[in-house]
Amino acid sequence: MTSNYFRVLVLLGGLGLGSVYAQDIDYLTLEKVTVSKIQVDVLNQEISQKVIEKHFDRQQTLQLPGMPTDDGQGKIDKVGKVISVGRELVALGEDIYRLVQKGKPVNKTNYAPISVVPKTDGGYADILDTEGWRMPTKATYQITYENLYGMEVVKFRYSIIFSYGGSYNGKGAYLTAAQIVPESVETLFGYTFGATMKLGGIQNHGTKENPVAGAILAMEHTVETVIKASLQTSSYHITGRGGFKEI
């Protein structure tokens, strides 16, 4: 059905009649949103595993910044500013950055990714003094919105990427280069999609003497039509030991 409606939209657009669908309440009404995790098997085939499926209540409105060097050392570029302070930990980066604006992925290099490093008497440890960083880990997801016709009106693929395991003076397990990277966005006529990322909080999963950093990455995504706007939040918990969990 989706392909047939897409052909109709293309035809109407070519005839200058695209605004007809802008008046169609069912076309502009979201029915459900699905979040899937994308993995690749041994044959290099993509496998999509559904993580969340939510139906809407109709009555309700890889060279990336901050990555460690090949020898496991921290890099000082784009460490950002202090955005959160805990008892033993300090988070650096940006308060919030846009992933998708006006239906298009935002430039991937104009922000400082999130790092969680040890707190010191002088403020926080210089990331150049950290070492032992593991290779970046990556998890890819796809969000799909459908309308009342069952058409996939918005499809957004993104990846959560971070490096972990960095130590300071031989102790601790910290985080760096934590970010959500937009991969692709597809929207049909009449729909506007946007997404932003921010730090949801930091935790120490270890001890005061040997901290293990934890952080929550929160992604807010919106779908807007002339009828209404929908706001959803997806959150991911990562740790300095490489732990990863959707929450």
pLDDT tens per residue, range 196-211: 999 999 999 999 999 9
Higher pLDDT, 233 or 101: 233
Phi and psi, residue 136, nearest 5°: -60, 145
pTM exceeds cut of 0.95:
no
What is the reported pLDDT for 218? 96
What is the reported pLDDT for 224? 92
What is the reported pLDDT for 42? 75
What is the reported pLDDT for 41? 80
What is the reported pLDDT for 80? 75
pLDDT in tens, 159-173: 899 999 999 999 999
- Binning the chain into helix, strand and coil, the percentages to the nearest 5 are 10, 55, 35
Contact indicator for 225, 189 with CB cutoff of 8 Å: no
What is the reported pLDDT for 126? 86
> Model confidence at 127, in pLDDT bands (50, 70, 90)?
confident
- Is the pLDDT at 72 greater than 90, yes or no? no
Higher pLDDT, 29 or 69: 69
pLDDT in tens, 80-126: 788 889 889 999 998 898 999 877 887 655 678 899 999 998 789 88
Say if strands 96-101 and 192-204 run parallel, antiparallel, or are unpaired.
antiparallel
- Interval 40-50 mean pLDDT: 80
Higher pLDDT, 79 or 20: 79
C-alpha distances (whole Å) from 178 to each of 60, 208, 214, 217 are 34, 23, 11, 8
Residue with tokens 């807010």: 220
One-letter amino acid for residue 138 of the chain: K
Residue with tokens 């990427």: 161
pLDDT in tens, 3-22: 444 443 443 444 444 444 44
The mean pLDDT value of the chain amounts to: 81
What is the reported pLDDT for 71? 67
224 three-state secondary structure: strand
Higher pLDDT, 54 or 200: 200
% residues pLDDT > 70 (the chain): 77
Please state, in angstroms and rounded to a whole number, the distance separating the CA atoms of residues 221 and 96.
13
